[in-house]
Amino acid sequence: MTLYGPFVQAANDGRIGWLADEHLTIPERLQRTLEWLDAHTDYTYSIWRGADPTRADGYLEPANGSFMQAAGSAEAMTVEVRLPGPDGEHHLYTVGRPESAHGTTTLIPMSDTRAVRVFSNEVFTAEEAAAVFYMFYLTEAVSQPYVLRELDLTQDLSELR
């Protein structure tokens, strides 16, 4: 039995496949990939558990509704996670540090035309985001000290640059 997964990775340009530790460890692979984000050509990256890690194409179906994604550039990106909430339904959250943002927001470019506004404690570098992604890879959760802010999906979450 060949094991391909268990996690899938995808980029905004349609590249998708198993997240593998070939040539680099998973933490190194996550950091390297997040370092490629430039907010122009490469601006999003996502991971989720694949449904069937015994098949080369088992990544085509997600195992559940949870995922983690980043948007922006290596210098400033937002990290979002979709997890089951207390009501048993999946919700989308922005990941942040526990310190207060004092209402200060930052505009994170996520393409040549769109940007997302987040609080200052929700801005990560590639290195910082890679640690959050690796914890999600290990546990399918976001651990302390990070906090989650639920996003209102009835609102437009991005704006023109």
The tens digit of pLDDT for each residue in 47-72 reads 999 999 988 888 888 899 999 999 99
pLDDT attached to residue 59: 87
Could you tell me if residue 46 is left (phi over 0), alpha (psi between -120 and 50 degrees) or otherwise beta?
Answer: beta
Residue 128 dihedral angles phi and psi, to the nearest 5°: -65, -45
Q: What's this model's pTM, rounded to 2 decimal places? A: 0.93
pLDDT tens-digit map of 4-48: 889 999 999 999 999 998 889 999 999 999 999 999 999 999 999
User: Rounded to 5, what percent of the chain is helix, strand, coil?
Assistant: 20, 35, 45
| pLDDT number for residue 1 | 54
Residue whose entry in the numeric block shows the structure tokens 């996502």: 46
Parse the chain into domains and list their residue ranges: 7-154
pLDDT in tens, 68-123: 999 999 999 999 999 998 899 999 999 999 988 778 899 999 888 999 999 999 99
- The residues, ordered by sequence, that sit 6+ positions from 69 with a Cβ below 8 Å of its Cβ are 44, 45, 46, 47, 79, 80, 81
